[in-house]
Amino acid sequence: MTESAAVAGTEGESPAGLSHRAILLILSGLMLGMFLASLDQTIVSTAIRTIADELNGYALQAWVTTAYLITSTLATPLYGKISDIYGRKLLFMSAIVIFLIGSALCSFSTSMYMLAAFRALQGVGAGGLMSLALAILGDILAPRERAKYQAYFLAVFGTSSVLGPVLGGVFAGHASILGISGWRWVFLVNVPIGFIALAVVFKNLHLPKVRNNVRIDWWGAATLTLGLVPLLIVAEQGRIWGWSSALSWTCYLLGAVGVVAFVLVEIAMKDAALIPMGFFRNKNFALGVAISFVVGMAMFGGIMLLPQYLQVAKGSSPTIAGLQMLPLVLGLMVGSIASGIAISKTGHYRIYPIIGSTLLVIGMFLLHLVRADTSFPVVMGFMLIVGVGLGNMMQPLVLAIQNALPAKDMGVSTASATFFRQIGGTLGVAIFLSILFAQITPSITSQLETATQNPQYVAVVQQAAVSGNPVDKAFAQGLLNKDSGAAGSVLEDSSIIQKLSPELAKPLADGFADAMDEVFLATTGFALIAWVLVLFWKEVPLRESAGLVAAKGEAEDGPDPSEV
């Protein structure tokens, strides 16, 4: 199939020759694939406790998340490089199939070890879904036109961030659905969506066959694995092991050796490298991935921890907390769609990351000010600001990183943006959870000490100690006996705050909200770093042609000097 045939449409409306209808058909398949990957990052979070209880592996639940995270992160740059060599359609479909097989196997798990192994297989597929979808969009659309359509992808990402916890809570809340344990539908729901995505992509996506005589950087993949696996494991488990424990130090050392080896291998492999080190001489690319890393830290930290505030401090159920995140998603959609339309019309994008990072700093700082008794409309207003900020950041970031490198490296550039954002997100969640758990006990202890000096609260405690419900009575008696374990008990089971009467639980909720304040102050700091980096980012004029057309031109004439 020739390139012109591959990208031509009968109702040509785009520089690539595709009609708006053809683009939307392709987009629907790509978005379904991306939806699978992004939904699975959140849907398991609210169901994992139920799953762990049924599979008798509560202490092992973190490994189910870690296994998926490791394989999806490692697979992302490999998919990007291989797709530049062999083409993207078959690879994208293969990623969907691997993900579906992993999902189906997860639903048959009979132990946490089996579930972790099958989640790892899911992750291998998920690593290609998000980055390849964006790379394919780059192939068929010119950057200015692409900005308009990439907003839909961010809308999918945002929607899944809210829908995931809601669906996870619904499925886990049912003992069985159609004769199958409710939690198993967390994975089975992927199967019909995946088959629809496969059918749409197979029928509507037509790309030219590609075969470049470039070696696959297997040594780079091996050393990247050696470097990232220990670091991702310690990021997830370090809080439990202790950051200075022997296990943590072993992971630090192995990770350092692996990262150094990876850099040396990539230098030696030159253009055939998984992530060619020469790309980092391009200041726009280097700054772009650095911004992606920092934004990933702030974004995933905020998105993962806001439900904690809503559930613990506000007493919302997991399902309700997911719905209460809608303002953030609405803001993300508004920000991404508005910036996409504006970029499409003007061809300029630098102003939007500046606006986005500014709003992100403001929104995160405002969330730092919330308390347990802050009204929902105020909290949701702050979430809306964060969402609009993220929408103005993520959309132009991917576009600019894709535009910074030659079109023939579309897969690597797109995968790099996703890869560094995921690494930043993993590190951010680990850092912010550590801050949260370090602050909970002293914050709640301080609030309890203040409350027990208040005669009204003491009267509530005394009343509960003799006539309250069993949970109130045990807690109140512990306070009267000056039991120091009351604050620490929240770390073991935060649901105690919801089980207590509101008057008795108030110091616990206030203390938890105070601990969250410290977390959002830290996310504000990382958002501020992103804002500073964005100010040094220069705008490179967007290419006028789609990735496939530009890549062909580069092959014939050589790349544009401004891109290398």
Judgement on whether residues 55 and 126 belong to the same structural domain of the protein? yes
Are the C-beta atoms of residues 394 and 353 closer than 8 Å to each other?
no
**One domain, residues 203 and 231:** no
Cα gap 385→29, rounded to integer Å? 30
Give domain status of residue 312, yes or no.
Answer: no
CA within 13 Å, CB half, 231: 20
Please list the ranges in the chain whose pLDDT falls under 70.
1-18, 46, 49, 58-59, 61-62, 208-214, 318, 468, 483-495, 543-564
My answer on whether 211 and 261 are in the same domain is no
Question: What pLDDT is attached to residue 492?
Answer: 56
Residue 135 shares a structural domain with residue 243: no
> 206 and 78: one domain?
yes
Q: In this structure, are residues 518 and 365 in contact, taking their beta carbons and an 8 Å threshold?
A: no
Count the domains in the chain.
Answer: 3
Note whether residue 449 is domain-resident.
yes
Tell me: do 108 and 252 sit in the same domain. Answer: no
Shared-domain flag, residues 162 and 34: yes
Kindly state whether residue 366 falls inside one of the protein's structural domains.
no
pLDDT score recorded for residue 487: 56
Is residue 188 within 8 Å of 105, Cβ to Cβ?
A: no
179 in helix, strand or coil?
coil
Backbone angles phi, psi at 180, to 5 degrees: -115, 140
Q: Residue 181: which H helix or E strand, with range? A: strand 180-181
Last residue of some domain: 246, 273, 300? 273
Residue 540 is classified by DSSP as P
117 shares a domain with 263: no
- Same-domain pairing of 55 and 161: yes
User: Would you say residue 62 lies in a domain?
Assistant: yes
Structural domain contains residue 534? no
Write the DSSP assignment of 272-329 as a string of letters.
GSSS-GGGGGSHHHHHHHHHHHHHHHHHHHHHHHHHHIIIIIS---HHHHHHHTHHHH
164 and 52 in a common domain: yes
Whether 146 maps to a domain, the answer reads yes
Domain stops at, among 216, 251, 285: 216
Sort strands 180-181 and 176-177 into parallel, antiparallel or unpaired. antiparallel
How far is 431 from 300, CA to CA, in rounded Å?
11
Domain range for 494 is 442-515
What pLDDT is recorded for position 483?
63
Token pair belonging to 44: 């398991």
Domain assignment present for residue 48? The answer is yes
Pair of tokens at residue 429: 């969640």
Same-domain pairing of 249 and 144:
no
pTM: 0.78
In angstroms, the CA 381 to CA 379 distance is 5
Both tokens of 256, joined, read 């350092």
Say if residue 129 is in the same domain as residue 208: yes
pLDDT the model gives residue 209:
67
Note whether residue 381 is domain-resident. Answer: no
The torsion angles phi and psi of 176, rounded to 5 degrees, stand at -155, 150
Q: Which among 186, 271, 283 has a CA at the least distance from the CA of 539?
A: 283
Contact 447, 371 (CB under 8 A): no
Residue 72 belongs to domain with CATH number: 1.20.1250.20
Residues 6 or more apart in contact with residue 331 via CB below 8 angstroms: 383, 384, 385, 386, 387, 388, 389, 390, 391
Report whether 103 contacts 49 (CB < 8 A). Answer: no
Instruction: Give the pLDDT score at 329.
Output: 81
- Give Cα separations from 451 to 454, 483, 486, 508 (angstroms): 5, 15, 13, 10
- Choose the final residue of a domain: 171, 197, 216: 216
